[in-house]
Amino acid sequence: MATVKDTMDKAARGCSVTPPTSWITATGLSHMEMKDFLAETVEELLERIDWPDPITKDTVIAGTGAETYALPSDFKRLTRDELAVYETTTTRRPGIAVPTNGAWTHLKQIGSAGGDRFYRTSGDEEDGFEISFYQFPATGASITVSYVSRNWLKQASVEGNEWTDATATLLLPARLVEMGVVWRFRRRKGMPFADRLNEYEANLARHANDKRGIKRIDMTGDGAMRSPFDIPVPDFIPPS
């Protein structure tokens, strides 16, 4: 994997800036700006694409009968997938997201028919995130949550989101990170940047398309890909 230092050195040369001896301790204006643009690029990449493992992860919520459960400390957001939350015991139903406080309050007051499991997330990166369910998961219930991690580098074999080690390696594509820093810096300095931005967006679009899964030909005529959840499974399967 590419190191963050090597990637930033390449970005510096693309901006006609001499790389510092140490990026971590560098205090020159151009170097500080490039480190800011590194943070902006990483933030954008984590928001725009559900990257594969180790950035996209699964966590399992063990039901206790409570409504709300803490999510992992590296949680950034749920994956943008209809199966981002699903039951892993009994019915294996996908969860249904509730986007607003009003809808959530109404749901808890009025209730719902059937066995659907509704959920919503709350919190922020400073104080941590939580996920709430309705109906409340009973003791023994298991719910899997797929999420995008805030961690974008690895240093001393530990994943993290703050660059403090000169030997840290990237978990994101190095070329994309480099291009993101370059076009932002060139824009800030009044240098031509449109071609760099277009190259960055084209590369990002290709990555986004590649991460949508294996390409396959659809013969059903509806244009949709089948999911294991399309096939009903009875709530109870008797032993053979």
pLDDT in tens, 56-104: 999 999 999 999 999 999 999 999 988 899 998 767 789 999 988 899 9
Alpha helix ranges (H) inside the chain: 4-14, 29-48, 101-110, 174-188, 194-210
Better-scored residue on pLDDT, 175 or 113: 175
Q: Rounded CA gap, 131 and 9, in Å?
A: 40
The conformational region for residue 51 under phi > 0 = left, psi -120 to 50 = alpha, else beta, is beta
Dist. CA 126–CA 131, nearest whole Å: 16
Q: What is the pLDDT of residues 158-174, one digit of tens each?
A: 999 999 999 999 999 99
Close Cβ partners of 78 (under 8 Å, ≥ 6 residues apart): 84, 85, 97, 121, 145, 146, 147, 148
Residue 213 pLDDT more than 90? Answer: no
Residues 98 and 107 sit within 8 Å (Cβ to Cβ):
yes
In a 3-state reduction of DSSP, which class is residue 10? helix
Are 141 and 89 in contact, with CB atoms under 8 Å apart? yes
